[in-house]
Structure 1
Amino acid sequence: MARPNWEDLNMDCLVNVFSRVGMQSHLLYAPFVCKSWYRAGLHPSCWQNINFQKIESDFLPWYCFDGIPTEFIKSIINRSHGNATSVLLPNYCTEEALRYIADECPALKALYLPYNQCSKYFLVIPELISKWKNLELLRLGSLYNMEKVLEEISLHCKEFCGLYAIRVDIGRDAASAIVNFLPNIKHLHMQGANIDRESLEIILQGCKELVHLDGRDCVGYECDDQLLKLASHITNFQHEGSRLFDDEDDWGAIDPNDFYDSYFSD
């Protein structure tokens, strides 16, 4: 009896398998195996989770200082046919590419905005938030114009539940903005942030629906019984490594793909 060929698999089965593999396989390997694999790899279900950070780190030559070309970003986004639910933006892309993603990804639920994008397009980002009405999770690489961003989220993103603000400065104004605009937030990740005790207390007292607060390795406070009491309503309060004063030698690398992994594990 002849052994079955992979290319003879039912198309729905192939799509199901390919929707679970990484972009490297989609771009470099699977399409060149056979015609059926090529067709399956073009199905929108295979492009719901788009990680440009992975493309930038794994595929882009070191000398491409301008980042991923806009036309390439558009071509990847087009493969989702409007069904992309998570996008990790590259460290460098044009405003044209950013606006294209906003227009062509109306189903977006999770968005990663690296530092360069937040600082360069801080006036544009609040305008684009209104196009992502299904947004649930946002990773900000910096807090440029954060109050305006959070205000737009409160107005347009009714299912929003998670904010990643890692290694940023969270002062009292920023803490108050989180409380005022996201009072029902459930997941707040601020690992390695600069945040003093009073700002942390503002968040603990104002965000009563928190179930996960990641305050590890923060600078500006040390956890004690009083803070633990204020955080008693939080199922998972992580505070290990937080300290009053900075010690850069203790900082480890934070992988942008941790955002991607945590989104799918939650």
Structure 2
Amino acid sequence: MGECSEFRRWEELIPDALGLIFRNLSLQEILTVVPRVCKSWGRAVSGPYCWQEIDIEEWSQRCKPEQMDRMLQMLIARSCGSVRRLSVSGLSNDSLFSFIADHAGALQTLELPRSQMSDSIIEHVAPRLSNITFLDLSYCKKLGARALEALGKNCKSLVGLRRTMHPLEVADKVCQDDEACAIACTMPKLHHLEMAYLLLTTRAVLDILSQCRDLEFLDIRGCWDVKLDDKFLKERYSGLKVLGPHVVDCYERNFWDECSDYSDSSIYSWDEFMDDGFNVFEGGSDEDGIWDDGQGLEGLEVRFYGGELNDAVAGFDWPPSP
């Protein structure tokens, strides 16, 4: 008995420690299982301890825009300004991006593929994103050189940028050298840059190489007009790994054919697990209020799917090299 008394019970761990442990669980488990265990675990998942890294990209690809907006607002509010990494797909409007920027004091990694923000909102809120070190703005069709320039001028610590597009999304454009120019002029500290399937010229890529002297990785797959000499690259940029422009097409198979038997593994009603959360506390104490957060989440349906997505989701059937 004396030996056992030296060990603390799980519910007695401080919230910070519990938060570190719970981060290894899935979003489904954190929101629907952990709160039902005990009061201390419920407090841990309702506070900032579990939400310094918010990754709901996979879930957000399958939910309705209004559901994703409400989920994101709730989780960011719970983080109390301490979120360091945010990964979500398909922001539907400028106001939600502005909300993120308002709570971005500690944000370092921001991944927003397939989102609908505009150049103007990026220019407006970029000063609030000064601590960002990695950005993913892939498949953001409304963004262009203006947004990249604003981000480069304000995110002085930026070392990684992912700005890839689907070929069909740039079919109506003539050239995107202006984006390359914005990167070259405002992001000199980049180590990692992905620009696959942008309509770039050789001159634009060389401008990036001449200005971004710390670059270690450059992805220009599908930038068919770019002609770089391997010997020249090895002599001038020996520490640089370049992927592309010509690629072995790995997307000729239809990704969805492989997933034809894919099915929804489970559906959780927000009302259901919120109500159960209330009941887990004896007597309906004041601590029940941690489940609401003032976000009006009644009726929100949360769907969780098994398995993981890979890059083929973004590419669907990518065209072969010309």
Question: TM-score, normalised on structure 2?
Answer: 0.65
Moved more, 189-198 or 84-93: 189-198
**Which of residues 176, 184, 189 is equivalent to 2:189?**
184
- Whether 2:136 is the aligned partner of 1:139: answer yes
Letter in 2 for 1:191: A
Partner of 1:110: 109
- Give runs of aligned pairs for residues 119-138 of structure 1, distance below 5 A: 121-138=118-135
**Which of residues 198, 214, 217 is equivalent to 1:212?**
217
In structure 2, C-alpha distance between the alignment counterparts of 1:117 and 1:230, rounded to whole Å: 41
In structure 1, C-alpha distance between the alignment counterparts of 2:91 and 2:100, rounded to whole Å: 14
- Give runs of aligned pairs for residues 1-266 of structure 1, distance below 5 A: 7-11=10-14, 12-57=16-61, 60=63, 64=64, 66-118=65-117, 121-141=118-138, 142=140, 144-167=142-165, 171-221=176-226, 224-229=229-234, 232-239=237-244, 241-242=246-247, 249=252, 254=311
1:35-82: CA deviation from partner (whole Å, max 9, x where unpaired)? 222222233131011123233236x3xxx3x44353332211111000
In structure 2, C-alpha distance between the alignment counterparts of 1:111 and 1:214, rounded to whole Å: 19
Aligned residues of 1:86 and 1:111 also touching (Cα < 8 A): yes
Note the C-alpha offset of 1:158. Answer: 2.0
Note the C-alpha offset of 1:157. Answer: 1.8
Residues 1:76 and 1:164: Cα distance change in structure 2 (over 3 Å): same
In structure 1, C-alpha distance between the alignment counterparts of 2:111 and 2:214, rounded to whole Å: 23
Backbone CA RMSD of aligned residues: 3.4
Residues 1:57 and 1:177: Cα distance change in structure 2 (over 3 Å): closer
In structure 2, C-alpha distance between the alignment counterparts of 1:203 and 1:214, rounded to whole Å: 12
1:175 aligned counterpart, secondary structure: helix
Residues 1:74 and 1:122: Cα distance change in structure 2 (over 3 Å): same
Note the C-alpha offset of 1:83. Answer: 0.5
1:50 aligned counterpart, secondary structure: strand
| Structure of higher CA gyration radius | 2
Residues 1:87 and 1:8: Cα distance change in structure 2 (over 3 Å): closer
Letter in 2 for 1:98: F
Letter in 1 for 2:72: I
Letter in 1 for 2:13: N
Note the C-alpha offset of 1:185. Answer: 1.6
Residues 1:85 and 1:191: Cα distance change in structure 2 (over 3 Å): same
Aligned residues of 2:116 and 2:141 also touching (Cα < 8 A): no
1:138 aligned counterpart, secondary structure: strand
1:233-261: CA deviation from partner (whole Å, max 9, x where unpaired)? 43433337438xx997389862689xxxx
In structure 2, C-alpha distance between the alignment counterparts of 1:31 and 1:104, rounded to whole Å: 25
Note the C-alpha offset of 1:135. Answer: 1.0
Partner of 2:279: none
Letter in 2 for 1:157: C
Residues 1:178 and 1:188: Cα distance change in structure 2 (over 3 Å): same
Note the C-alpha offset of 1:194. Answer: 3.8
Partner of 2:278: none
**Structure 1 unaligned regions, length at least 5:** 258-266
1:2-33: CA deviation from partner (whole Å, max 9, x where unpaired)? 89896445224322211333323221222222
In structure 2, C-alpha distance between the alignment counterparts of 1:124 and 1:14, rounded to whole Å: 37
**Structure 2 unaligned regions, length at least 5:** 256-309, 315-322
Aligned residues of 1:213 and 1:234 also touching (Cα < 8 A): no
In structure 2, C-alpha distance between the alignment counterparts of 1:84 and 1:77, rounded to whole Å: 7
Moved more, 73-82 or 215-224: 215-224
In structure 1, C-alpha distance between the alignment counterparts of 2:183 and 2:88, rounded to whole Å: 23
Question: TM-score, normalised on structure 1?
Answer: 0.76
In structure 2, C-alpha distance between the alignment counterparts of 1:94 and 1:172, rounded to whole Å: 26
Give me the identity figure in percent.
25
Aligned residues of 2:61 and 2:90 also touching (Cα < 8 A): no
Aligned residues of 1:185 and 1:209 also touching (Cα < 8 A): yes
Q: How many residues align?
A: 248
Note the C-alpha offset of 1:189. Answer: 1.5
